[in-house]
Amino acid sequence: MLNFDNNATTPVAPEVLEELIRVTRDIHGNSSSGHSIGVAAGDLLENCRKRVAKVLNAKLPSEIVFTSGGTESDNAAIRGCAWAMKDAGRGNHIITCAIEHRAVLAPCEWLAKHGYEVTVLGVDKNGRISLDEFKKALRPQTILVSVMLANNEIGTVQPIEQLGALARTHGFILHTDAVQVAGKLPIDVQALGVHALSLSAHKFYGPKGVGILYLRDNTPYTPFMLGGTHEYNKRAGTVAVPQIAAMTTALELVEKKRQSRGAEVKRLRDLLVQLTLKDVPGTHVNGDLNLCTPNTASLRFDGLYGGHLLRKLDDEGVLASAGSACMWEQTKPSHVLTALGLTDAEGGSTLRFSLGFDNTEDQVRELVVKLARLVPEIRKAPPQAIRPPKERVATH
Mapped onto helix, strand or coil, the DSSP state of residue 105 is helix
> Whose CA is closest to 357, among 219, 270, 218, 256?
256
CB atoms within 10 A of CB 256: 12
- With the C-alpha atoms ordered 216, 152, 188, 237, is the resulting torsion angle positive or negative? positive
CB atoms within 10 A of CB 8: 19
Catalytic residue among 81, 108, 292, 326: 326
SS3 content of the chain, % helix, strand, coil (to 5): 45, 15, 40
Q: Please confirm, yes or no, whether 326 is among the known catalytic residues.
A: yes
Beta-sheet pairing, 2-3 with 318-319: parallel
Contact 73, 198 (CB under 8 A): yes
**What distances in angstroms separate CA 59 from CA 54, 168, 213, 366, one per listed residue?**
8, 17, 14, 46
Q: Which residues contact 352 (CB under 8 A, 6 or more apart)?
A: 5, 7, 153, 154, 296, 297, 298, 299, 320, 321, 322, 323
CA atoms within a 13 Å half-sphere pointing along the CA-CB vector of 361:
4
Active-site residues, by number, are: 326
